[in-house]
Amino acid sequence: MVLPVLPLLLIIGSGVVYHVAQRAAAGASSSPWPLLTLTYGVAFVACLAIAWAEGGAMFRRVPERGTLLAGVALGMAVLGVELGFFLAYRAGSALNSVSVLSNLGVTAALAVIGIAIIGEAMSAARLCGIGLAAGAAWLIVHG
């Protein structure tokens, strides 16, 4: 599956801004809560404005239970990611290392979940790819 280019560019650009902003904020603040409150407030207002601009359909019906549970899980996961990066950067972790190590950890965990729980196939090529990614991460962190 080939990812469309624009969403990938959005992810990359947003990721760069995210880490630079997190690193800058962690050095300037002793508590993550004002930053996270502002962050989620901006995201909340932006989502409401976009939903309203699309016709406000979300305001006319109650979301299904699966959507509510996924939304709660996603919200808690995003909070964990935000807080984890804030605390790592505040502790003095290098900008280039934290992201690489966390993404490698997520990739490895998702590979195990994909194989063991979802039943996705693990080929020798994919296994080699994970090994190469781990080696690259080590070079970036220790290089």
For the chain, the domains span: 1-93, 94-143
Contact partners, residue 15, CB within 8 Å, separation at least 6? 99
Confidence of residue 43 (pLDDT cuts 50, 70, 90): very high
Confidence of residue 1 (pLDDT cuts 50, 70, 90): low
d(CA 37, CA 76): 14
Report the chain's mean pLDDT, rounded to a whole number: 87
pLDDT tens for 76-104 read 999 999 999 999 999 998 888 888 889 88
d(CA 80, CA 70): 15
